[in-house]
Chains A and B, each alone.
Chain A
Amino acid sequence: MGRKSVRNVAAAEPENLTGLQRQKVRDYYETLLSQGTGALSPDIVAYLLLCISMILLFVPVQELFAEGNDSDLFLIVWGFTLLFTTAVSFYMMKYHSVTYGNNKSETVADMLLYMPVDRRENRRYLFGVLAGFLKKTTIAGLIMQVGVALIAYRCVSIWNIIYILVLTFVAPLVICGSTIVLRDVQLRR
């Protein structure tokens, strides 16, 4: 009967129970967003930063990876990648930050601490929202990048695709995704 500090994970849930949990989490967030989270809408800031960071799409990728290029271009690309990631973070803020009495800010994960919620499903839902948003921006980015490459160089290289996938999908997914996990880990006591 004894129990160690590191908790044994319960036996795998039946699929329908997992589906039910997923549905509950989705309903919870939809209800929460329909009521408003009480924080200033971060969407406006997110879209504004997103527009500015679209400069990324006009970087001449062929020159970026050409031999003997100016290294400043890498810094500019990195800067705008961070700006893009910041825009994504602002977009995700409505799922993280809620006003909790006396203008204190809490995360939704904090609010769910004592609730009958599978934390894995909560994380999975947030990752789903994040990946969904990034998928849209990446597809738009790919179309723009290919279009720009065709107009400027009359050819598309594999670097055009890799460039967009890494900077507007993989990098923000890793950076913003790690904050989702970190917020959850912070609850460990």
Chain B
Amino acid sequence: MSEEKYLLEFVGVTGTSRKNYKLQDITFSLPAGFIAGIAGENGAGKTTLFDYIMHPKKQYAGSILLNGKEIHDDYVSLRQQIGFVSEKNRFFMEKSARENAKLAACLFDGWDSDLFEKTMKEMGVSLSRPLSKLSRGEYMKYQTAYAMAHHPVLYLLDEVTAGMDPVFRIDYFKLLQSLLEEENTSVLMISHIQEEMDRKMDFVGVMEEGRLVSWEENL
């Protein structure tokens, strides 16, 4: 175990499944209170990296640590600490945001319905429309409010800003910044937008063919 305390650590993570796309020897550390970006071409393994954290049955060698604990040894309680925003996330698309939130309240400890509804209203997303009727940008905003409502320590954002207008993108990063400062969370974000990588991220990682070829502090 490393001496410095990190929120998220990947230590030599290599996929062992025969079927699926594999990561190869991924090692990086993300301290609390920082925002990190992962870049790379399509198919480089960025979303797969998130899948290794989020999928309860992913098979790999190495360690994925959240607050020093192996993430999949107690997936249920550690999942409570992760806010996941991605197209791969699963919701009842024919139900409204409010109905989906009601279901989430059964599973997440400390689910904050007031915060969820307040964030949704601030972002201007309908609580009563079925999720299938939301635009991609609205859907991502909904997912962000959903992730915030259970007060995670780590946010995993998979190309969240891709469908958002530039004005809202600025507000979105302000929102993330306030989360970093007030709740001492960290954000790991996949993005194809170069400007975001250059100006908004504290750490930047680049992936190629399942490998993390660089992980550097963005000075």
Q: Which A residues contact B (CB, under 8 angstroms)? A: 1-8, 10, 21, 24, 27-28, 31-32, 35, 38, 98-102, 106, 110-111, 113-119, 187-189
Contacts and interface: CB of A to CB of B under 8 A. Distances in A.
Contact of B63 (A1, A5, A8): A1
A98 B93 CA distance: 10
29 contacts: A1-B1, A2-B62, A2-B63, A3-B60, A3-B70, A7-B57, A10-B73, A24-B106, A24-B107, A28-B106, A35-B103, A99-B94, A100-B92, A100-B94, A102-B93, A110-B90, A111-B90, A111-B92, A113-B55, A114-B54, A114-B88, A115-B79, A115-B104, A116-B76, A116-B108, A117-B107, A188-B57, A189-B19, A189-B59
Contacts of A27: 106
A111 B79 CA distance: 15
B171 to A, nearest CB: 26
B61 interface: yes
A38 to B, nearest CB: 5
Nearest to B130: A101
A21 B103 contact: no
A189 B17 contact: yes
B77 interface: yes
A31 B16 CA distance: 38
B20 interface: yes
B86 to A, nearest CB: 9
B73 A32 contact: no
B103 A32 contact: yes
Contacts of A110: 90
Contacts of A111: 90-92
Contacts of A98: 92
A113 B89 CA distance: 9
Chain A interface helix/strand/loop/mixed = loop
A114 B74 contact: no
A189 B90 contact: no
Contact of B72 (A7, A31, A99): A7
Contacts of A188: 57
A189 B55 contact: yes
B218 interface: no
B132 interface: yes
Most buried by A among B58, B76, B99: B76
B67 interface: no
A99 B99 CA distance: 14
A117 B109 CA distance: 11
B78 to A, nearest CB: 8
Contacts of A10: 73-74
B93 A100 contact: yes
B43 interface: no
B133 to A, nearest CB: 10
Contact of B89 (A4, A32, A101, A114): A114
B119 interface: no
B3 to A, nearest CB: 14
Given A101-B94, A111-B90, A189 B54 contact: no
Contact of B61 (A2, A8, A35, A101): A2
B95 interface: yes
B61 A3 contact: yes
B11 interface: yes
A141 to B, nearest CB: 35
Nearest to B64: A3
A38 B60 contact: no
A106 B90 contact: yes
Contacts of A117: 76, 107
